Amino acid sequence: MITFNILTIVVALALCGCCMQPIEGQQPDRKFSIDFQNDTFTMDGQPFQFISGSFHYFRALPESWRNILRSMRAAGLNTVMTYIEWSLHEPFPGQYRWDGIADLEKFIETAQSENLYVILRPGPYICAERDMGGFPHWLLTKYPAVKLRTYDIDYLREVQKWYSTLMPRVERFLYGNGGPVIMVSIENEYGSFQACDRLYMEYMKNLTVHFVEDKAVLFTNDGPELLECGSIPGILPTLDFGITNNPGQFWQRLRKFLPKGPLVNAEYYPGWLTHWMEPTARVDADMVVSSLRLMLNQKVNVNFYMFFGGTNFGFTAGANDVGPGKYSADITSYDYDAPLDEAGDPTPKYFAIRTALIEYFGDPGVPAPEKLPKMSLDTVWLERRGSLISKHGRKMLAKQMVAAPKPVSFEALNQHSGFLLYETTLAAGLNRDPYTLTVEHLHDRAYVHVDDVFQGILSRETNVYSMPLSVGLGTKLQLLVENQGRINYNIPNDFKGILGSVTVDSKPLNNWTITCFPLDSYQYMENFLNQQSNADEEDLNDAAAQIYYGTFMLGNETIYDTYLYPSEWGKGLVFINGFNLGRYWPLAGPQITLYVPRHILTKGSNHIVMIEYQKKIQYPYVQFIDKPIFN
């Protein structure tokens, strides 16, 4: 087991690595560095200015990476910036994934082949509107009291293990080693985090230097007012800000921490994020270009966040601590009003930016992209196959069932996503009608049942934790609790499930049976669909979380991207050909349609599964249309 003494040795080794000098006469041929005297980066001794765009490889299928990267190069960008998502690559301790959408090395190689340099942001915390800010959920399972993003022994142990696995994979791509990676970040907007743990930031610096050495430039990034806790002595500080008529005011603040050196806007916002139940965020294209020109006139290095946003497939969308309940979940789309839309198509904003960049830097020699065709399909009818909480549903879809005197969290059961079903028996002799059910510290949404009949919803988002129930409804209380996404910004320890007491007229309920439905493996769903129950009593027509199934055919014509349009549905989850598209919620909006990449579709028969959480669908059908709908 690692101890503080060993951690100290790790830090010392990292510091030694930082101090190592190349042998005389063996200076590397490639060098990306900082010329402080002339306030610029240099590449092999020559001044260099990067114009970059953020594109997170985990928000698009690998088959579309090249097309998106080529469109970025065609816009006049010379660099792509991406986060590295720890939770994607290590979903469970010591179980690593580097294939498919997690093939980071292929992404870097593809960017290099499209004549783009790369900036890597390994975090380990990335925010990015992702579940738990990119941290794996199991950190909270393994260490319930862990203090993430601090000099916490348990946390640092896991970070060191992760970096020891990650960094050897990317070292060959560092510019000094012949690759395209010119910069690597240390942490992410740490000045926004209340801990302000300088010992932790020094540790992250030493750990990163140990692997990167001088083969790429290291940097931090923060909002203009937050450099005090976010910057690290000896590391390049950079800023994050959006459209402005006076960027000079921000650079004045930066110069207090960086008297000389290149100016960098590491997150220049041409769009913004959107939560459920709020208007779609939009940023004016003319204002984006106007602010861009001001920065380019000052020789600023700019990274657009985002240039391509993509999609929060599956359960990857996060949340923020805003709204009535200090919780608002991010929508499935990460379109972000970016220059390239969710499908990777150029927008008017794209062409406005491209025009400006060509004026400053010349034509990149790559033709401007055209919007790819989209397709509509005939109406697809589905049939109801039962409920998640039926006996058959539990048998096929549940991962485990446990007994506990009081409710426990998702993380205590080592569950990342989906639902927990909490069940107990109501006390006999209730004489108040209606009585009041209250769930304390609900994270995030409970579908309340009595004797398998859906009664209503409690919600963290809308700050609704109590509801009246009639005495005559039954004796078995069932709370199907949904994880809507862990908070991604500033609050990393966002445990899920019922974290407090459940009371009836202020009297706590005990002795719970808890059933786990992570819904993270489609194999369980296939088992459910292929082994139908014959018992009529298992139908549970009045329960929430009803499961629907349908098929649709695609002929020999070319398959294009499309958009699922669940106009008559309430809130739920969609699988197409076993691929988890993500959450839909047209009742709340603003996102109505779900983006369907052509790469998950196939000629011949395709199948669709929808889990509708709360609405009873009398005539279950969906449409596939050729454009997205956002209210």
Query: Encoding tokens for residue 625?
Result: 């249309």
Could you tell me where the DSSP H helices lie in 255-310? 285-297
Strand order in the sheet with 594-596: 377-381, 621-625, 562-565, 594-596
The helix or strand, by DSSP H or E, that contains position 527, with its residue range, turns out to be: helix 522-530
Question: Closest Cα to residue 181, out of 282, 104, 264, 255?
Answer: 104
What is the distance between the alpha carbons of residues 72 and 631, in angstroms, rounded to a whole number? Answer: 28
CB burial string 329-346: b at 16+ within 10 A, e below: bbbbbbbbbbbbbbbbbb
Beta strands in 518-597 (DSSP E): 546-554, 562-565, 572-576, 579-584, 594-596
Q: Is the distance from CB of 367 to CB of 337 less than 8 angstroms?
A: no
Give the type of residue at 246.
N
The sign one gets for the Cα dihedral 34, 37, 43, 49 is positive
Residue located via tokens 């005990």: 510
Residues annotated as catalytic are 189, 267
Residue located via tokens 């004026």: 359
What is the distance between the alpha carbons of residues 631 and 627, in angstroms, rounded to a whole number? Answer: 13
The helix or strand, by DSSP H or E, that contains position 162, with its residue range, turns out to be: helix 153-170
Long-range contacts at 372-375 (CB < 8 A, ≥ 24 apart): 372/343, 372/344, 372/345, 372/560, 372/561, 373/558, 373/560, 374/343, 374/560, 374/561, 374/562, 374/563, 374/626, 374/627, 375/559, 375/560, 375/561, 375/562, 375/624, 375/626
Partner residues linked to 512 by β-bridges: 404
